Amino acid sequence: MPDVNRPMSRRGPNEGNIYQRADGRWEARVHLGYEGGRRVRKSLYGHTRREVQEQLTLVLRDLQAGLPIARDERQTVGEYLDRWLAEVAKPAVRPSTFRAYEMYVRLHLAPDIGRIPLTKLGPQHVQALLNAKLRGGLSPRTVHHLRAVLRRALNQAHRWGLVPRNVATLVDAPRVPAYDVRAMAPSQAGAFLDTVRGDRLEALFTVALAVGLRQGEALGLQWGDVDLSAGTISVHRALQRVDGKLRLVEPKTPSSRRTVPLPPTVLVALRTHRTRQAEERLWAGSRWHDTDLVFTTTIGTPLDGTNVTHHLHQLLGRAGMPQLRFHDLRHACASLLLAQGVHPRVVMEILGHSSIGLTMNTYSHVIPSLRHEAATRMESALTELSQAGS
């Protein structure tokens, strides 16, 4: 390292000097190289020479390691997060995901760490934020998501060279208890189908249970996606609320685009539903909205997911059955498929999961029964081999 006590007339990269300013503060200047033919410097300030020396040492270390050095000391975390939301997150993620990001920034990140200069944000600030949120009553899962949003935003800041490292990755997320997926036995599935039989949304709930569509995927189905002759449905889009209006958007992930074969029970339900919808269209007359959606209101407009869930709760309540979320029907589908011996890879493709690990981790509660079944089948195979050899 060069002598930082003596100013130098010519300096190359990875060099710096320290001096005391007229106002009493100490300043270190680091030469970062050239940009557009002009020398680029970075100034570091402190109340003592030791304070500035420590800052200079860190910057020179980062330079030697090839890490980007942030130049704008004035931009705050809040200002950066606003820019990240507008320029990076909004164009790249689905509307519902963007709303979640914006909520985490507006309600939690900006009020707590928004005034800190971006280049001064350290792991201790992130740790203090997470601890405060847990003490304030947020669930570990919510705090986990909060850290994930900040980590994603700071990853972009690092790629842009605004910060030398992503400090959110240096802080562990709180432990999140595993979600207890509700497994549905075949007898319970039969009771559920009996409960919804005859309802105008019977086909919707039957499809959700038998094929495991996400709610947005099911509500975004159009008749052009349904091939009753081939017995398949294709998932190309999802229905979501965007800026207060229900709109068709891209599915959750690339793997969410899929074509799924339909059991005969579902085909019967869909044919009955199509006949009922044609009758509703005649009754509605000029009030009918031609959206080509499979599942609609009585005048053809898209169904609101919250209203669908409320309707499901009413049906279950009248039947004296335990309450379920719409998404629990997707879990039930996966559990039933695995319990029937369907290969996890096939279940992954039916559900549109991005990896088989996600499928197995989510539905690990079904694995013990599969192991017992595998042992039983192996015993049968060994017995047959033994008898054949004797």
Quickly list DSSP for 144-177.
HHHHHHHHHHHHHHHHTTSSSS-GGGGSPPPP-P
CA–CA separation, 110 and 76 (whole Å): 10
Q: Distance of CA 315 to CAs 195, 212, 265, 322, 328, Å?
A: 7, 19, 20, 10, 15
CA–CA separation, 212 and 329 (whole Å): 7
Segment 189-194 long-range contacts (CB within 8 Å, at least 24 positions apart) = 189/332, 189/336, 191/319, 191/321, 192/321, 192/332, 193/265, 194/319
CA atoms within 13 A on the CB side of 20: 7
* Whole-number pLDDT of residue 11: 40
* Whole-number pLDDT of residue 14: 45
CA–CA separation, 343 and 359 (whole Å): 11
Task: Give 386 or 61, the one with higher predicted confidence.
Answer: 61
Residues in contact with 298: Cβ distance below 8 Å, sequence separation at least 6, in sequence order: 200, 280, 283, 284
Does residue 38 have a pLDDT over 70?
yes
Mean model confidence pLDDT for the chain: 84
Residues in contact with 327: Cβ distance below 8 Å, sequence separation at least 6, in sequence order: 214, 215
Does residue 105 have a pLDDT over 70?
yes
* Whole-number pLDDT of residue 218: 95
Residues in contact with 30: Cβ distance below 8 Å, sequence separation at least 6, in sequence order: 15, 16, 41, 42, 43, 44, 56, 59, 60, 63, 69
What is the strand order of the sheet 26-35 is part of? 15-20, 26-35, 38-46
157-197 pLDDT tens trace: 888 778 878 999 999 988 877 666 666 677 788 888 999 99
Do the beta carbons of residue 341 and residue 313 sit within 8 Å?
A: no
Confidence of residue 68 (pLDDT cuts 50, 70, 90): low
Concatenated DSSP letters for 28-54?
EEEEEEEETTEEEEEEEEESSHHHHHH
* Whole-number pLDDT of residue 335: 81
Q: Distance of CA 154 to CAs 80, 90, 121, 151, 350, Å?
A: 9, 16, 10, 5, 35
* Whole-number pLDDT of residue 59: 77
Do the beta carbons of residue 189 and residue 209 sit within 8 Å?
A: yes
* Whole-number pLDDT of residue 140: 92
CA–CA separation, 330 and 363 (whole Å): 11
Across 243-255, average pLDDT = 83
Do the beta carbons of residue 202 and residue 196 sit within 8 Å?
A: yes
* Whole-number pLDDT of residue 44: 76
* Whole-number pLDDT of residue 80: 93
Find where tokens 């208890």 sit. 177
Does residue 57 have a pLDDT over 50?
yes
346-380 pLDDT tens trace: 888 888 887 776 676 666 655 555 556 656 666 66
Residues in contact with 326: Cβ distance below 8 Å, sequence separation at least 6, in sequence order: 208, 215, 305, 308, 309, 312
Does residue 282 have a pLDDT over 80?
yes
* Whole-number pLDDT of residue 243: 77
Confidence of residue 46 (pLDDT cuts 50, 70, 90): confident
Residues in contact with 105: Cβ distance below 8 Å, sequence separation at least 6, in sequence order: 81, 82, 85, 149
Rounded to two decimals, the pTM is 0.64
Across 270-287, average pLDDT = 95
Task: Give 161 or 324, the one with higher predicted confidence.
Answer: 324
* Whole-number pLDDT of residue 368: 58
Chain centroid to CA 147? 13
* Whole-number pLDDT of residue 89: 94
Task: Give 5 or 83, the one with higher predicted confidence.
Answer: 83
Confidence of residue 248 (pLDDT cuts 50, 70, 90): confident
186-232 pLDDT tens trace: 778 888 899 999 999 999 999 999 999 999 999 999 999 999 999 99
